[in-house]
Amino acid sequence: MGRWPRGCGKLKGNFMKLIYSNASPYARTVRVALRELEMLERMEEIAQHPFDNPAQLISFNPLCKVPCLINEDGKGIFDSQVICEYLDSKANNQLFSDINQNWQLKTYYSLTRGILDSCVAWQQDKMRGKIGESEFWQSRFISSIERGLDFLRKKINELPKEVSALTINLVTILDYLDFRHPEYDWQERHPELIDWYQIWSKRESFDATKPKA
Ligand SMILES: N[C@@H](CCC(=O)N[C@@H](CS)C(=O)NCC(=O)O)C(=O)O
C-alpha cells in the first residue's frame, strides 16, 4: 500500500508510457487529454523525435510516428485518436461522450482531424526547401484549412460546452497554425474563432503542452 502515486491502484505497479515530440500536434492532443482526464501521474512521458528513428518507437509503432502509447501490459497503442479513445475509456468517457452520440459532432471531429492533417502536410512540404516545395499542394492544404475553419466557425455554438476531443483538436490546430504557419494569420481570417479560442486555451492542459521546436 502506498507504493504507487495516487491513482495508480489498478496498474499493478506499471506505468503507461507515452512517446511524443514537442512539435507534434497529434502528440499534443494526447498530452492535453492526459491532463484533462487527470491521468498524468499514471504516465511516463518520453520525448523522442521520430526522424531519429528511435528503436523503442519503431518496436511499438512500425510507422515510426508519434504519438505512441505503451500500455500497462506493454502493448503499443496508436494513433492519436485511438490513444485518446483508449485513455477516455479508462476514465469516464468524458472526451468522446458527446461526439459518440451525435453524428454531426462526430463529423466535425473528423473535420478537425483532416484540418490537422493538412496543417502537418503543409509543414512537411515547406521542409522540402524552396526547390522541392509544391505550390499546387500547398494551395490545396491551405484551401482545406481555410474551408474547414470557416465551416467550424459557423458551428461554434454547436460545439460541446464541456471539454471534449473536438475542443482539444481545434485549440491544437489554432496553436499549431501560429507555431508553424504564422503567415496564415487565422485570427485575421477567422476572427469569430478568437473568443472561443481565448476561453479554452487558458486551460492548464493547453498551457503545459504548448508546441516547441
Ligand atoms: N495519424 C497519426 C499521425 C501521426 C504523425 O504523422 N506524426 C508525425 C509527427 S506530427 C510523425 O511522427 N511523423 C514522422 C514521420 O512521418 O516519419 C496520429 O494521429 O497520431
> Got the DSSP string for 64-82?
--S-EEE-TTS-EE-SHHH
Per DSSP (E only), the strands in 112-175 are: none
pLDDT band with cut points at 50, 70 and 90 for residue 7: very low
Whole-number Å distance, alpha carbon 15 to ligand 1 midpoint, is: 23
* 145-189 pLDDT, tens digit each: 999 999 999 999 999 999 999 999 999 999 999 999 999 999 999
CA of 26 to the centre of ligand 1 (A): 7
- pLDDT more than 90, % of the chain: 91
**Residue nearest ligand 1's atom 11 by CA:** 65
**12 C-alpha to center of ligand 1: Å?**
31
Residue 146 pLDDT: 98
Question: Would you state the pLDDT for residue 11?
Answer: 42
> If pLDDT is split at 50, 70 and 90, which confidence band does 2 have?
very low
Q: Kindly report, residue by residue over 12-58, the tens digit of the pLDDT.
A: 457 999 999 999 999 999 999 999 999 999 999 999 999 999 999 99
Which residue's CA is minimally distant from atom 2 of ligand 1?
79
- The mean of the pLDDT values for the chain is 93
Q: Measure 115 CA to ligand 1 centroid, in angstroms.
A: 14
Residue 92 pLDDT exceeds 80: yes
**Could you tell me the domains of the chain?**
9-90 (3.40.30.10), 97-207 (1.20.1050.10)
pLDDT of residue 74: 96
pLDDT computed for residue 12 by the predictor? 46
Q: Which of the listed residues 29, 49, 60, 65 should we mutate to test ligand 1's pocket, taking the one with most ligand atoms within 8 A of CB?
A: 65
Q: State yes or no: pLDDT of 6 exceeds 80.
A: no
**Cβ–Cβ < 8 Å for 88, 96:** yes
What local confidence, expressed as pLDDT, does residue 13 receive?
55
More confident residue, 3 or 24: 24
Residue percentage of the chain with pLDDT more than 70: 94
Distance 51 CA to ligand 1 centre (A): 10
Ligand 1 pocket list (CB less than 6 A): 24, 26, 50, 64-67, 78-81, 120
pTM equals: 0.93
